[in-house]
Amino acid sequence: MLGAGPVGENVADRAVRGGLTVVLVEKELVGGECTYWACMPSKALLRPAQAVRAARQVAGAAQAVTGGLDVQAVLDRRDSFTSNWKDDGQVAWVEGAGISLIRGQGRLTGVREVTVTAADGTTTVLTARHAVAVATGSDALVPDIEGLRDADPWTSREATSAKEVPASLAIIGGGVVATEMATAYLSLGSTVTLISRSGLLAGMEPFAGEAVAEALRKQGATVLLDTETTRVTRTGEEVAIETSGGTTVTAAEVLVATGRTPRTRDIGLDVVGLKPGDWISTDDTMRVEGFDWLYAAGDVTHRALLTHQGKYQARAAGDVIAARAQGTPVSDAPWGKHVATADHSAVPQVTFTDPEVASVGLTAAAAQKAGIRVRVVDYEIGQVAGASVHADGYQGKARMVVDEDRQVVAGVTFVGPDVSELLQAATIAVAGEVPIARLWHAVPAYPTISEIWLRLLETYGR
Ligand SMILES: Cc1cc2nc3c(=O)[nH]c(=O)nc-3n(C[C@H](O)[C@H](O)[C@H](O)COP(=O)(O)OP(=O)(O)OC[C@H]3O[C@@H](n4cnc5c(N)ncnc54)[C@H](O)[C@@H]3O)c2cc1C
Ligand SMILES: NC(=O)c1ccc[n+]([C@@H]2O[C@H](COP(=O)([O-])OP(=O)(O)OC[C@H]3O[C@@H](n4cnc5c(N)ncnc54)[C@H](O)[C@@H]3O)[C@@H](O)[C@H]2O)c1
């Protein structure tokens, strides 16, 4: 098993539970990007401001919040979530799960063969009886913008692990990392400028990015949309970012948040006939096409660059590797035990901005593009009784995209404060293909924000 991020750990765990022996190879920290430089530290940076905002939106509680964030306490709490970038806890879990761990850079060196080069240069050759799985994840992509690499830019790693808050931060990109880090650093006191070559959160329902852009501006950020970055220059303590609009943005640091690139350049893909530097594509059992022994899961497959979805793929992969090894039945029809079917139509994602964006399944545009006859149902979440009790002047919007021919929900998007916990109900509706007629019988409790479901159904009609 190459890579001990959340995905590698789960493939290994499932294969061990299935009766196999597993060696996990890790070159940095057991727990991967998610634990140390992505999901956990970013959410730890965001949560304190969200808690303060929640209190400030409720008269009575608002009066109790008299100060600003304690920045050092926020950073200290973030450090506790990353265990100060030490992986002892995760190593203990690996050992407890009966998985062997070898530290070093792993490379494919033959059929079912991996060679691990340790930090001191010693090598260990491992030959698998059944399978090799690759879950080496992804790195931040730094695009070819003139001067950018020489300007010593931050990537998501520096943004999530910074020990000090820069006075000003320019962010190139308009996706999830850019918007979340803009939200976090604004709350920590930086002057933030976000430079996006498109609108924000492209690929989601348009009203999501529009709401986030408006909110970032209200919170004090400068948001430049449809703006290309043309040149970046660092002079001493300052970075100058020239843009297509003619504006030059200056900041103490520049964060590049322009997507990911697969960690496959140096893992021996050429030895097995694949191209180094490419994403690794698989079938729905996570087996690499053309191989009976090579599997991949998680970010490296480019199916859905999310921890929960990678771990879902990992459960399928670990279980199917064990089943194929033991000769037990394989359940690889859509929605079977050994396939990651949901990757195609039911991927949930929360963007932890303020307001939050929670979505699953297809947007209206994506559904139409897929040839589905859709009806779009929109509703203002603030009109739901539970939302008005939750926060004074609650503002948010929900969209349900209905597949008219199949009478099921193809996608749902919620934008608003604290909508993240609404998402699992939507995921169940989409993945479960629950008929609209039956959803009427899933009665949301009064007065909760979940009553948005009732309002969406009433707007749809029956
Ligand atoms: C800033 C940020 C915030 C994010 N927030 C969220 C979030 O809130 N929710 C969410 O679901 N997703 C989030 N993501 C995405 C999430 O981090 C990834 O989807 C997830 O980490 C993928 O897991 P993985 O195991 O595939 O890869 P990784 O976590 O990257 O782990 C891969 C592991 O493989 C190791 N490795 C690589 N090459 C080798 C080799 N040759 N030999 C040995 N070991 C090797 C690496 O050192 C690493 O430990 C975020 C991403 C970023 C950048
Ligand atoms: N809360 C979460 O679930 C969460 C949080 C952060 C990251 N992630 C995952 O991590 C992945 C990476 O996030 P991300 O924000 O880096 O990627 P992204 O794909 O979400 O956004 C990339 C952004 O960079 C822009 N861009 C791309 N190339 C560019 C260029 N050459 N010049 C200027 N702009 C350019 C794109 O237009 C887009 O706005 C995502 O796929 C996401 O799923 C998830």
Q: Output the CA 140–ligand 2 centroid distance in Å.
A: 9
State if residue 179 touches ligand 1 by the CB under 6 angstroms criterion: no
State if residue 310 touches ligand 1 by the CB under 6 angstroms criterion: yes
Contact 324, 317 (CB under 8 A): no
Helix axes 71-81, 39-56, angle to 10 degrees: 140
Q: Output the CA 328–ligand 2 centroid distance in Å.
A: 40
State if residue 106 touches ligand 1 by the CB under 6 angstroms criterion: yes
Q: Output the CA 459–ligand 1 centroid distance in Å.
A: 40
**Ligand 2, atom 34, residue with closest C-alpha:** 173
Q: pTM value?
A: 0.98
Q: Output the CA 31–ligand 1 centroid distance in Å.
A: 8
Percent of the chain as helix, strand, coil, to the nearest 5: 35, 25, 40
Nearest bound ligand to CA 176?
2
pLDDT at 236: 87
Tell which residue, 273, 365, 350, 254, has the closest CA to residue 309.
Answer: 350
pLDDT at 376: 98
Local confidence pLDDT in tens for the 462 residues of the chain? 999 999 999 999 999 999 999 999 999 999 999 999 999 999 999 999 999 999 999 999 999 999 999 999 999 999 999 999 999 999 999 999 999 999 999 999 999 999 999 999 999 999 999 999 999 999 999 999 999 999 999 999 999 999 999 999 999 999 999 999 999 999 999 999 999 999 999 999 999 999 999 999 999 999 999 999 999 999 989 999 999 989 999 999 999 999 999 999 999 999 999 999 999 999 999 999 999 999 999 999 999 999 999 999 999 999 999 999 999 999 999 999 999 999 999 999 999 999 999 999 999 999 999 999 999 999 999 999 999 999 999 999 999 999 999 999 999 999 999 999 999 999 999 999 999 999 999 999 999 999 999 999 999 999
Can you tell me the distance from the alpha carbon of 163 to that of 16, in angstroms, rounded to the nearest whole number? 38
In this structure, the chain runs to a length of 462
pLDDT at 245: 85
In this structure, the residues whose C-beta lies within 6 A of any atom of ligand 2 are: 143, 172-178, 180, 196-198, 202, 229, 257-260, 305-306, 349-352
Coil, strand or helix: which one is 128?
coil
Can you tell me the distance from the alpha carbon of 335 to that of 443, in angstroms, rounded to the nearest whole number? 26
Does 290 appear as a known binding residue? no
Can you tell me the distance from the alpha carbon of 372 to that of 278, in angstroms, rounded to the nearest whole number? 31
Domains annotated for the chain, with CATH where assigned, are 6-31+87-139+262-325 (3.50.50.60), 149-258 (3.50.50.60), 355-460 (3.30.390.30)
Reported ipTM: 0.98
Q: Is the previous residue joined to 444 through a cis bond, with omega within 30 degrees of 0?
A: no
Does 221 appear as a known binding residue? no
To the nearest 10°, the Cα dihedral for 301, 304, 306, 309?
-90
Q: Output the CA 82–ligand 1 centroid distance in Å.
A: 14
Can you tell me the distance from the alpha carbon of 195 to that of 448, in angstroms, rounded to the nearest whole number? 37
Sequence-ordered alpha helix ranges (H) in 32-144 = 32-37, 39-56, 71-81, 88-96
